[in-house]
Structure 1
């Protein structure tokens, strides 16, 4: 399987999708960045994209009379994979720049798609054996920043109500908070400090399935926040969606976080 990486600008990818009957996906991709534009403006963007794709060798030929555009077979396979995949792993980080990593599954083949600030898109084929390392790199998890926690407690499970209070900026002074041990309260206080220092955001990793009518459903999700004393992992450990969520906040070491990310990603395979 080829490991060649193709790099598209936003406009080039939008044009490639449109040429392969993916007008709806192309419009969503472009409008998310540009907003509403006139038809003339769209035409200019796609004209520029056409010339750029040809200069890169990403377009083999154009038959203007019949309105046909020919791409290399591997690029066509990748674009069709994007269009027809309905199960994917998606990671999002905003810490250094807005990046979205999506691994699209289709008939047990996997396409790696990295979007950097919405303007550059990297496409390459990938395999499950690569994902753990890819995610560690994507989230910037480094051994030097993720070992040797000095906290006596590394994990606490709380209710959804308490989680909502914590993420809304409140410092709970309620029976819910009083039920926690002093070590657990210290752990939560440390998480709040790191959460605050990160502009009250956390990266996330999710598995997503697209159903009929293009309805998107998140099947599972965890939140990731590298910190000085480890890596925060937050997820609902209650498997039954009909039951009350049990939110687990855990400070993991580098090696533990690596395994967590790899195990989560493995559900896509």
Structure 2
């Protein structure tokens, strides 16, 4: 990641987007946190954001005659990148606090955007060589945890229908997956216990493309759940999108999961 990381409050980023003709993105960002506010309240928020951005040196000048606001060139480039990128890698975790890491691609340049609990936003340029380490840090995978190869006994492959029933059930009956080998039944029961202990949620990592009409398509997605022994990794191992999904539930060591994260992130380059 580049040496320069710029930190914005929610209000500062919303204002910067609005100044660069990104009113819709700014409104979506702000309303997700504040809800609907009267016009005077928005004006007060943006006025405070203007003063804060000027104090940080992010704004070069404001013309009182025509109201033109000039940000420093690098920040202006970053905001334009956010507005025009339609292909991205996005990671989300709700452990400790809600965080989202998005790497926005535009013309083979990549912008790192970390949102912490919706209130702070960090922007920096990044390179593919850094992504594995950045994702490991984002998901909090500790090097001290178990490492080494994971054997096939720590892996189960199930249908999408069974996956839907498992994630919907508080305590799924063993009869749901009785057709699986005994070791896979044990693995699924162990995963489900961890899943319920985490309030029925998991971290996720996805490749997203925004098409015409702002239609959002998830091209690839993977779920993660840290465990004492390593990390639960869940993904569809069927490469043909028109075929029946084959949901793989796998317990990986931290070192194996690092490689999985790096390999998944590389989809953004393909």
* Bin of the TM-score, shorter chain as denominator length: over 0.9
Deviation at 1:206, TM superposition (A): 0.1
Q: Distance in 2 between matches of 1:85 and 1:150?
A: 37
SS in 2 for 1:3: coil
Q: Which residue of 1 aligns with 2:73?
A: 73
Q: 1:21 to 1:43 in 2, by over 3 A?
A: same
Deviation at 1:2, TM superposition (A): 5.0
Q: Which residue of 1 aligns with 2:49?
A: 49
**What is the TM-score of this pair, normalised by structure 2?**
0.95
Q: Does 1:84 align with 2:84?
A: yes
Encode CA deviations 1:193-214: one digit per residue, 9 max, x unaligned. 1111111100000000010111
Q: Does 1:171 align with 2:143?
A: no
SS in 1 for 2:96: coil
Q: Distance in 2 between matches of 1:254 and 1:2?
A: 26
Contact persistence 2:148–2:255 (CA under 8 A): no
What is the correspondence of 1:67-146 to structure 2 with a 5 Å cutoff? Answer: 67-146=67-146
SS in 2 for 1:223: strand
Encode CA deviations 1:48-81: one digit per residue, 9 max, x unaligned. 0000001101111100211100100000000000
Contact persistence 2:208–2:216 (CA under 8 A): yes
Encode CA deviations 1:169-188: one digit per residue, 9 max, x unaligned. 241444x5111111111101
Q: Distance in 1 between matches of 2:15 and 2:148?
A: 49
Q: 1:262 to 1:149 in 2, by over 3 A?
A: closer
Contact persistence 1:90–1:101 (CA under 8 A): yes
Q: Distance in 2 between matches of 1:212 and 1:256?
A: 37
Q: Which residue of 2 aligns with 1:253?
A: 253
What value does the CA root-mean-square deviation take over the aligned residues? Answer: 1.7
Contact persistence 1:3–1:126 (CA under 8 A): no
Q: Distance in 2 between matches of 1:211 and 1:26?
A: 19
SS in 1 for 2:268: coil
Deviation at 1:148, TM superposition (A): 7.1
Q: Distance in 2 between matches of 1:149 and 1:232?
A: 14
Q: Which residue of 2 aligns with 1:214?
A: 214
Q: Does 1:8 align with 2:11?
A: no
**What is the TM-score of this pair, normalised by structure 1?**
0.96
Unaligned runs of 5+ in 2: none
What is the correspondence of 1:151-230 to structure 2 with a 5 Å cutoff? Answer: 153-169=153-169, 170-174=171-175, 177-230=177-230
My pick for the range that moved more, 160-169 or 144-153, is: 144-153
Unaligned runs of 5+ in 1: none
SS in 2 for 1:143: coil
Q: Distance in 1 between matches of 2:267 and 2:243?
A: 22
Q: Distance in 1 between matches of 2:2 and 2:243?
A: 45
Encode CA deviations 1:105-138: one digit per residue, 9 max, x unaligned. 0000000000000000000000000000000111
Q: Distance in 2 between matches of 1:149 and 1:3?
A: 35
